[in-house]
Amino acid sequence: MSGRPSGKRARRGGGALTESAIVSRAFDVSRASRQTPPFGAIVAAGAAVAAVMLVLDLTWLGVIALDMYKSQLGPLMRPQPDVLAAALFYTMYVVATTAYGSLGAKTVWDAMNRGGALGLVAYGTYELTNWAVITGWPVILVPADIAWGIALTAISSVVGHVVLVRTTGTASR
């Protein structure tokens, strides 16, 4: 036994740091090393994410995969999408992708990985829930949509991160 109370560690210069003090200092250092980008840069990154996501997703849904969705979803598919529902989804997803995938990234590679992970969780949640609770949900859509969500969100995150870096004039860390 060293004679120190349980849960405390010795430090140079005497005295002891509690585990909570160590965690608190690590958090303070981490927070101080990440400055919030200017509002205009955040808006530019978000606009870039929105533009890329909209163009890519409309191309995927309206051209590339349209026949697959029509054949697999049949009567479940609306003749025209519900614009309000789509607008609500894209608003939330663009904000999440910008915040987590683009602003949270340290490098382009990091943005790609963070965006891909977000896409996996978001599209995976949607597809796996539908497969679990909707009778006859087409299993072929599960891997196709999840893969698309990963790619779409990764690409959008990277573009948002690049715009952020160029707008702020900082090098990708």
List all residues 6 or more positions away from 111 whose beta carbon is below 8 Å from its beta carbon. Answer: 101, 102, 105, 154, 157, 158, 160, 161, 162
Q: What is the pTM of this model?
A: 0.79
Q: Is the pLDDT of residue 4 over 70?
A: no
Q: What is the mean pLDDT of residues 131-153?
A: 97
Q: Is the pLDDT of residue 32 over 50?
A: no
Q: Is the pLDDT of residue 1 over 60?
A: no
Residue spans per domain, the chain = 1-33, 37-168
Q: Is the pLDDT of residue 105 over 60?
A: yes
Residue 145 in tokens: 């949509």
- Per-residue pLDDT band for 169 (boundaries 50, 70, 90) equals confident
Rg of the Cα atoms in the chain: 22
